[in-house]
Structure 1
């Protein structure tokens, strides 16, 4: 394995290992030693690449937020009209809730940190603003804000329910929020 400066992927492996550990053991289960072992790097690499655990965890969650925003982009970039956008949001909710358990757990871990620590609250606010930017391509800002909250709630409920609601009910909820009286 390459060492030091000749291993450009080392930092990325450390971040990925950190996210994996958070998903498996929670924030309290993460340590420099565990991350180094998981990433397959010398323990000294931890302090070479990150000033401390807090910087590493912030960077890891920033990378995770980027990933989720990319999922939003993948679903919401193509719709040409409001009906297609509603279908795309439905697809997004189902993709998020039926997808990676890792992503679901990481989302909840980040929310817990954000509830306790302002720096993570700011990170989640930035993430939500970026997600809403994608929604605002199809809906007004107030509707996008409400829809973003609905996406979060439906995703969590669908992921944790023994009998999650079907696509028709998801689409109905999205349609109710995105239909304005004229």
Structure 2
């Protein structure tokens, strides 16, 4: 008896691939393991994704959407009156406070691009998208630096297992933005010492 039409099969394969990576790591993902997890014939995975790189790309693009949804839900990044470092620090807190497995999965796929050039364009998409958004509040170079620092803070939290420190993140991010008001408990800047012959 022929199988009924299944228009959602491609999406189910992507969802299955993400679950496989979450359970077994990237090394455990193959067309066969994705097909078994999705409960579809092996030929379905190769039909929708001719190579494993294509399947990983689709999984990474979907994983990237998690951070984009957090940004869209928060909304304060485009408010010219909002404290941008505080908004970004809160944004990271919301992301890391959610399903940590999902965040780890996103980074595992993200770092897979180091050895799989086909993944690099999609791995860069989220960083470029956030940088474009932040460039509305600051200059493009600072926007890219803010994204790089956020990336580093997230990796430190994930790799060390340390709790996320939102106040530290806010202070660190504010140092990349001259003119941003310092944290309330930040120590005052030391007086500038005059060099020889200066008045």
Same fold (TM over 0.5): yes
Quote the Cα distance in structure 1 between the aligned partners of 2:36 and 2:164: 40
Task: Tell whether 2:69 aligns with 1:74.
Answer: no
SS of corresponding position for 2:163: coil
Deviation at 1:18, TM superposition (A): 0.4
Quote the Cα distance in structure 2 between the aligned partners of 1:76 and 1:143: 20
What is the TM-score of this pair, normalised by structure 1?
A: 0.83
Deviations 1:97-130 (A, max 9, x none): 2222233322332233221222222222233111
The structure, 1 or 2, with the larger RCO (C-alpha pairs under 8 Å, 6+ apart) is 1
SS of corresponding position for 2:175: helix
Quote the Cα distance in structure 2 between the aligned partners of 1:43 and 1:30: 13
> Contact between 1:22 and 1:29, CA under 8 Å: does it hold in 2?
yes
Correspondence 1:73-152 to 2 at 5 A: 73-76=72-75, 79-81=78-80, 83-152=82-151
> Contact between 1:87 and 1:171, CA under 8 Å: does it hold in 2?
yes
SS of corresponding position for 1:115: coil
Structure 2, gaps ≥5 residues long: 181-199
Residue 11 of structure 1 is matched in structure 2 by 10
Query: Which entry has the higher C-alpha Rg, 1 or 2?
Result: 2
The range that moved more, 68-77 or 137-146, is 68-77
Going from structure 1 to structure 2, the CA distance change for 1:101 and 1:64 (only over 3 Å counts) comes to same
Quote the Cα distance in structure 2 between the aligned partners of 1:46 and 1:165: 38
Quote the Cα distance in structure 1 between the aligned partners of 2:134 and 2:119: 23
Quote the Cα distance in structure 1 between the aligned partners of 2:81 and 2:144: 16
Going from structure 1 to structure 2, the CA distance change for 1:136 and 1:112 (only over 3 Å counts) comes to same
Deviation at 1:76, TM superposition (A): 4.3
Going from structure 1 to structure 2, the CA distance change for 1:127 and 1:163 (only over 3 Å counts) comes to closer
SS of corresponding position for 2:176: helix
RMSD: 2.4
Pairs aligned (count): 179
Quote the Cα distance in structure 1 between the aligned partners of 2:34 and 2:125: 26
Residue 187 of structure 2 is matched in structure 1 by none
Quote the Cα distance in structure 1 between the aligned partners of 2:82 and 2:178: 10
